Structure 1
Amino acid sequence: MLDTLARVATRRPLTVILFWTLFLLLGFGLGTGVFGRLSDEVPNVPGTESQRAAAYLRHADPDGDTVVGVIEGARVSGPALRGQVERAVAEVRAVGGIAAVPDPYTTRGLVAADGRALLIPVTLKGGLDDAAEERAVDAAAERIRRIDAPEVHVSGGPLLGTQIGERAQRDVRNAELISLPVVLALLLVVFGGLRAAGLPLLVAVSGIAGAFLALFGFSQVTGISVYAIQVTTMLGLGLAVDYALLMLVRFREERRHTPDVTEAVHRTVAAAGRTVLFSGLTVAVSLTGLLVFPSTFLRSMGLAVAAVVVVDMLAALTLLPALLVRFGGRIAPAKERPAGEEGRPFARLARFAARRRVAVLAVVVPVLLVLALPVTGMRIAIGDARQLPAHTEARQLYDTVDAHFPPGTGVSPVLAVLRPGTDPATAGRIRALSPGAQSRTLPDGTEVVRLRPSGRVDGASATALVERVRELRGTQPVQVTGTAARLVDFRAMLADRAPWAALTVLAGIFVLLFAFTGSVLVPLRTIATTLLSLGAALGVVVWVFQDGHLAGLLGAEGLGALSLTAPPLIVAIAFGLAMDYELFILARMREARQLTGDDREAVADGLRRSGRVVTCAALLLAVVFAAFMTGGFSPILQIGLGLTLAVLIDATVVRMLLVPATMTLLGRYAWWAPAPLRRLHDRFGLREAPGRPEGASAPAHSAFMR
């Protein structure tokens, strides 16, 4: 396959470049339509009680979602402002698709006790199609915002998803504007020339276009979370630069041995291209764990990110070779260096870790375990508007309500759906769970009880209220839904499926690493050290965003829990990225061992040959991830910080210290496998191509061949 791709790219470079140009136009044209289709509905899990009850209410309840306006002023009951509010309420009631708008001055609880704020809840009719709902929401929001008051904010319901989507689009654009110049500057330092440094950015732009197209395609058949656009763009940009860097380093070294650009491109694709292909496969395997969960969000994220990985691989294996054929002749070959000079600092570090292997393990492992300790107390939650930056409208509405109204005002209720046949005594006990419970009867006789929890929408009291209703109902036809109920069901789904997801990923990674190394101990060692770096990174994220330490430096605050999207995405993506760096280093170690037969020297030589590329790739990825932390949206801050730390810890402490220390400690047993597995690997495993002598320049990465 790689030979075919190389031939197509070198024989028809202009055709390949034209194809990718059309792909870019399609991605940044049609693909950006996904921004209008994003949803903030993350915790829905098909088949759960909360999801079934919500689906029933959407069908049977004549009322739909609610949008809320908040007016803040010195005296909201003043004649001038009151007249404006009453006229606005009357006009909103006349908007098509609006079911009800109560008079805030005569409805209890809608005017703040201090008289400085009031709420205008706007209830939509049920059963509206997307276009009709959008028209109704836009008309109602626009009319409320015309009220002349010091502060007017409108959000909630479908409007919140729109506002978050617009925020996501701005954050992606700003992150690209920040990261691309920084990445270009770093590539200039690495390659010393604008032409070589600019090519990875072209591949990166292709990765972004691929992210948009993949998400737009998935949005036609399933819901796409607002988080998806930022995570997939982040990863698409980072991996594209990573893969292009690997290919370009190899191309410059191949140019040192052949003046023929086309031949150098063929050698690059045949060798480093296999590394890119295998590395992409490890990322994809790591993401298969997300497919184990029945959550639409997690599955769509896994599929979308995997699609982006495929686009990045194809761009690195087709677009980049075509560009190199056309323009690579002007890229300077890698400089000749005396034997042993290249990567000397990394070789010294490896030899230090090998000599002091027990001391390295005794220091590094406890430090990583200490960093990982906060994970034992990790909590996940859906979150509220505090996750948004302070200047966003939804957050300003939340802060205004929090400042002027009693705790719990505006918190989504726990909805108990009592179907016909429910025992009256049971219904009475359920209503008694909340002093302010409100009931209404639907046309089919079903009673819907709105229970107001104290505290936050996803706090302990809210989830405890859900559990209490489910205890009281016994065998009665009662279902519970609402935000807190969806969180309870999502947590149960994670607890039930997480072990199977972990088993799937670890088994897949073990098989891939065995196919690559022929060893059973190296995959086990790799998984163990990678889990250490992941635990440390996730522990810091918990310490910052859940416990609130140093969160202010990132423009956030301690929320008491992580976003339920962050932990599974951090673990899945970071695990795959860590495998990339492991493969680069192991390839060089194994190649050196096959050439010299010296297990200890192979460790130093492997790190010497791969250390520079691994460090540069990790730094570039960290820059991309960190750029997405400038938006201020807490879930993306959590994912960005987690991935940044995971990449940096893994590429430095783990790969530069733990890997050489543990490999030296294992010695020749590192490459051991039982005889039946050894024969299996001899027949089906992947092997490196013969390496060059030490006097010749070694390629940047191993080549994999059958």
Structure 2
Amino acid sequence: MLATISRAATRRPLTVILVWLLMLLIGFGLGTGVFSRLVDSVPDVPGTESARAADYLDRVDKSGESITAVVAGTAVSDPGLRSQVGRVVADLRTVSGVAEVPDPYTTHGLTSEDGEALVIPVTLKGDLKFKDKKKAVDTAAERIRQIDAPQVHVSGGLLLGQQMSGRAQGDVQRAELISLPVVLALLLVVFGGLRAAGLPLLIAISGVAGAFLALFAFSQFTDISVYAIQVTTMLGLGLAVDYALLMVVRFREERRHTDDVIEAVHRTVAVAGRTVLFSGLTVAVSLTGLLVFPSPFLRSMGLAVAAVVVVDMLAALTLLPALLTLPHARLRSRGGTPTGARIAPARAPREDADAKAGSRFGFKSGTDPDNEGRVFARVARFAARRPLVILATLVPALLVLALPVAGMKISIGDAKQLPSNTEARQLYDTVDAHFPPGTGVSPVTVVVRPGAAPDMVARIRALSDTTDSRTLPGGATLVHLQPTGGVDGKAATDLVERVRQVRGNEPVEVTGVAARLVDFREMLAERAPWAAATVLLGIFALLFAFTGSVLIPLRTIATTLLSLGAALGAVVWVFQDGHLAGALGAEGLGSLSLTAPPLIIAIAFGLAMDYELFILARMRETWLRTGDAQEAVVTGLRRSGRVVSCAALLLAIVFGAFMTGGFSPILQIGLGLTLAVLIDATVVRMLLVPATMALLGRRAWWAPGAMRRAHDRFGVSEEASPQPQLTSV
């Protein structure tokens, strides 16, 4: 299969490039239509109780969402302010789509006891289309902001969702603007030339365009989260760098052995292409676990990342060989040999400045292979000679770092996730400073259907000190219970649980922010084991197909989980518990955003498999050639250590740039992925992998006879040399 791909790419490079160019045009043309179809309803899970109740209310309740304004910084009794507020309230009541606007001066609880702030809630009609709802919200917010007062802030409802998603997109764009120039500069140094450094960017652009096209197709059948676009571009760049780095380094290595560029390309695709193929498949499989969850957010993230991974992989296997071949295609067409064009020897005497820079990293084609990776070889020998010491030191250390994960909590979050200079956060802080705790917190909403016990409404209202109720069309009763604390804090979620205990088997449903969080947590707990089993079995099967070993996949999964646990534990320690959060411009929130852990786990696990395969590919080559397990460990790390280190550094820069914003979920994802990449590429791949491989020795490559024969028959292999047989273990 890989041989066929490489022959097609080298025989008709212009055709391959034109096909990808067409895909780029379609992807950035038609594919960007997905932008108008994105949703930001992260915690919604179709089919849950909270979703069913919300759908019912959308059909029968005439009142809809609400936004909130706070006016502060001056005495609310000021006649001029009171006159302005009265005119604004009257104007808001005439806005199309607005259902109710109470007068804050005559409605209890809407003016603060200190007389320095007042709240204006604006309730929308419940039967509005999204376009009409957005127009009503924008009109109301614009009118409120015309009030002449020191502090006027508007947020909540649809407006809060827009402000949070807008901040998330802004932080991601800032991260891209910061990271791209740095990454390009490092690529120039690593690859030793502008043309070579541009290859990862071409692969990345192709991957993103293909992913946009795939997401547009997916959006016809399912919701696509607004966060999917950011993760797609971020990971598309990172994996493109990984794959292009691996392929170009191998191409330059093959050029040492032949003057025939076409032959070097074929050999590169055969060996490095096999690694890219399995790497892409393992990363994609790592993310298919997200498809097990019924949450549109998680599913769309899995689809988005899997799409960009597959397109990056295909671009590396087809577009990159065509680009490497293209400069020499003219020579071949003028009568070159059938196997390819002959060009000057690889060790050309002239070297430009950036090529000399690249040579310092061992990526230049003329580098002496005996001098490559000496530091990594010494590290591998050190770990291989003291495997028990390495394991006894590093495993407990990683487990200690992972301990905070045991107390991890997730929440939907509120305006506290935003930096203090955003309007939503300023409204939150102003209300918190002037009003009693719980003011403005979304209530727990209970729908008591007809046929419920006569005393059910009274029993439910007794669960909270602050309640109100009204009858809905059709005879159902709507009860609002006001929790203390945050919108999805422990008090609110406990209130949801108590309502569900009290109602028993009666036709009563609970919805609202806290109820959605409770249902989301239950969905995670129910589906997580199935997701984990799907991913681990898929990874085991692919690693077995790649290595022909049973023990290596098990060892790989165990060491990867260690690095992942350590990175996630650090995120919990910082953002949930509040340690060192101020250094990142954040604060301890008592929980993590529910968007962060699934994305950190899925993406970091996939990237760890990426680096593992880079190392295993070199180890396997040496093992097949020599049958010496010790030599396989040392040579494998010597040949792959530079690639893994540079790829991890570049990815860490991309992910680290996400910590330059102020939106807590993006900060959490940035820190988690940065730490996961660095820990995995250094501590795990450079020390734990050679230590465990040395401890296993020849047994590392063992498989039962039936499985070994199946691998020999069906496995994808880059060369015909048989695997050394293990007669005993």
Q: Would the TM-score normalized by the shorter structure come out above 0.5? A: yes
Q: Please state whether the residue corresponding to 2:370 is helix, strand or coil.
A: coil
Is 1:523 paired with 2:553? yes
Q: Who is 1:601 aligned against?
A: 631
Q: Who is 1:178 aligned against?
A: 178
Deviations 1:266-297 (A, max 9, x none): 33333322221210100111112111112121
- 1: CA distance, partners of 2:122 / 2:35: 25
Q: CA distance change for structure 1 residues 555 and 206 in 2, over 3 Å: closer, same or farther?
A: farther
Q: Please state whether the residue corresponding to 1:340 is helix, strand or coil.
A: helix
Answer yes or no: is the 8 Å Cα contact 2:215–2:303 preserved in 1: no
Q: Who is 1:569 aligned against?
A: 599
Q: Who is 1:534 aligned against?
A: 564
Structure 1 counterpart of 2:209, one-letter code: A
Deviations 1:82-118 (A, max 9, x none): 2222212212211111111111111111112222222
Answer yes or no: is the 8 Å Cα contact 1:255–1:264 preserved in 2: yes
Alignment of 1:45-64 (within 5 A): 45-64=45-64
Is 1:652 paired with 2:682? yes
Q: Who is 2:292 aligned against?
A: 292
Q: Which one of the candidate residues 422, 429, 441 is aligned to 1:411?
A: 441
Structure 1 counterpart of 2:491, one-letter code: S
Structure 2 counterpart of 1:159, one-letter code: L
Structure 1 counterpart of 2:197, one-letter code: A
Q: Who is 1:643 aligned against?
A: 673
Deviations 1:598-654 (A, max 9, x none): 211211111111111111111111111111222222112111211111111111101
Structure 1 counterpart of 2:226, one-letter code: V
Answer yes or no: is the 8 Å Cα contact 1:40–1:164 preserved in 2: no
Q: CA distance change for structure 1 residues 150 and 327 in 2, over 3 Å: closer, same or farther?
A: farther
Q: CA distance change for structure 1 residues 394 and 455 in 2, over 3 Å: closer, same or farther?
A: same
Deviations 1:374-406 (A, max 9, x none): 111111111111112222222222122112211
Structure 2 counterpart of 1:368, one-letter code: L
1:209 offset after TM fit, Å? 3.4
Answer yes or no: is the 8 Å Cα contact 2:67–2:122 preserved in 1: yes
Answer yes or no: is the 8 Å Cα contact 1:234–1:628 preserved in 2: no
Deviations 1:144-202 (A, max 9, x none): 12222222222221222222332233223212211111111111221222221122122
Deviations 1:519-546 (A, max 9, x none): 1111111111111111111111110111
Q: CA distance change for structure 1 residues 37 and 287 in 2, over 3 Å: closer, same or farther?
A: same
Q: CA distance change for structure 1 residues 661 and 427 in 2, over 3 Å: closer, same or farther?
A: same
Q: Who is 2:340 aligned against?
A: none
Deviations 1:439-486 (A, max 9, x none): 011111111110011111111111110110111112211111111111
Q: Who is 1:198 aligned against?
A: 198
Count of equivalent residues: 691
- 2: CA distance, partners of 1:608 / 1:588: 9
Q: CA distance change for structure 1 residues 651 and 11 in 2, over 3 Å: closer, same or farther?
A: same
Q: Which has the larger displacement, 185-194 or 159-168?
A: 159-168
Q: Which one of the candidate residues 356, 361, 378 is aligned to 1:348?
A: 378
Q: CA distance change for structure 1 residues 35 and 604 in 2, over 3 Å: closer, same or farther?
A: same
Q: CA distance change for structure 1 residues 263 and 598 in 2, over 3 Å: closer, same or farther?
A: closer
- 2: CA distance, partners of 1:379 / 1:323: 48
Deviations 1:556-580 (A, max 9, x none): 1111011112112211111111111
Q: Who is 1:382 aligned against?
A: 412
Alignment of 1:261-660 (within 5 A): 261-327=261-327, 334-338=364-368, 340-660=370-690
Answer yes or no: is the 8 Å Cα contact 1:164–1:226 preserved in 2: no
Alignment of 1:234-249 (within 5 A): 234-249=234-249
Q: Please, which runs of 5 or more residues in structure 2 have no aligned partner?
A: 329-342, 347-354, 356-362, 722-729
Q: CA distance change for structure 1 residues 231 and 161 in 2, over 3 Å: closer, same or farther?
A: same
Q: Who is 1:209 aligned against?
A: 209
Q: Which one of the candidate residues 668, 680, 694 is aligned to 2:698?
A: 668
Deviations 1:359-379 (A, max 9, x none): 111101110011011111111
Q: CA distance change for structure 1 residues 242 and 53 in 2, over 3 Å: closer, same or farther?
A: same
Answer yes or no: is the 8 Å Cα contact 1:35–1:165 preserved in 2: no
Q: Which has the larger displacement, 418-427 or 449-458?
A: 418-427
1:231 offset after TM fit, Å? 2.1
Structure 2 counterpart of 1:63, one-letter code: S
Answer yes or no: is the 8 Å Cα contact 1:97–1:125 preserved in 2: yes
Q: Please, which runs of 5 or more residues in structure 1 have no aligned partner?
A: 692-706
Answer yes or no: is the 8 Å Cα contact 1:204–1:240 preserved in 2: yes
Q: CA distance change for structure 1 residues 488 and 136 in 2, over 3 Å: closer, same or farther?
A: same
Answer yes or no: is the 8 Å Cα contact 2:469–2:480 preserved in 1: yes
Q: Which has the larger displacement, 529-538 or 103-112?
A: 103-112
TM-score, with normalisation over the residues of structure 1? 0.94
Q: Which has the larger displacement, 332-341 or 546-555?
A: 332-341
Alignment of 1:94-105 (within 5 A): 94-105=94-105
- 2: CA distance, partners of 1:20 / 1:684: 31
- 2: CA distance, partners of 1:225 / 1:315: 25
Answer yes or no: is the 8 Å Cα contact 2:255–2:365 preserved in 1: no
Q: Please state whether the residue corresponding to 1:75 is helix, strand or coil.
A: coil
Q: CA distance change for structure 1 residues 467 and 345 in 2, over 3 Å: closer, same or farther?
A: same
Q: CA distance change for structure 1 residues 7 and 68 in 2, over 3 Å: closer, same or farther?
A: farther
Answer yes or no: is the 8 Å Cα contact 1:36–1:162 preserved in 2: no
- 1: CA distance, partners of 2:102 / 2:132: 21
- 2: CA distance, partners of 1:145 / 1:262: 66
Answer yes or no: is the 8 Å Cα contact 1:218–1:304 preserved in 2: no
Q: CA distance change for structure 1 residues 285 and 402 in 2, over 3 Å: closer, same or farther?
A: same
Structure 2 counterpart of 1:271, one-letter code: V
Answer yes or no: is the 8 Å Cα contact 2:496–2:510 preserved in 1: yes
Answer yes or no: is the 8 Å Cα contact 1:71–1:118 preserved in 2: yes
Q: Who is 2:68 aligned against?
A: 68
Q: CA distance change for structure 1 residues 218 and 80 in 2, over 3 Å: closer, same or farther?
A: farther
Q: Please state whether the residue corresponding to 2:120 is helix, strand or coil.
A: strand
Q: Which has the larger displacement, 330-339 or 129-138?
A: 330-339
Q: Please state whether the residue corresponding to 1:124 is helix, strand or coil.
A: strand
- 2: CA distance, partners of 1:86 / 1:515: 73
Structure 2 counterpart of 1:571, one-letter code: I
- 1: CA distance, partners of 2:538 / 2:511: 37
- 2: CA distance, partners of 1:318 / 1:172: 30
Question: What percentage of aligned pairs have identical amino acids?
Answer: 76
- 2: CA distance, partners of 1:161 / 1:630: 21
- 2: CA distance, partners of 1:367 / 1:185: 35
Answer yes or no: is the 8 Å Cα contact 2:560–2:605 preserved in 1: yes
- 2: CA distance, partners of 1:311 / 1:582: 21
Answer yes or no: is the 8 Å Cα contact 1:607–1:656 preserved in 2: yes
Deviations 1:189-230 (A, max 9, x none): 212222211221222233333444444443443333333232
Is 1:160 paired with 2:190? no
- 1: CA distance, partners of 2:138 / 2:109: 25
1:357 offset after TM fit, Å? 1.0
- 2: CA distance, partners of 1:445 / 1:549: 51
Q: Who is 2:358 aligned against?
A: none
Deviations 1:23-56 (A, max 9, x none): 4455455545545544332111121111111111
1:690 offset after TM fit, Å? 6.3
1:585 offset after TM fit, Å? 1.1
Answer yes or no: is the 8 Å Cα contact 1:541–1:638 preserved in 2: yes
Structure 2 counterpart of 1:612, one-letter code: R
- 1: CA distance, partners of 2:599 / 2:145: 37
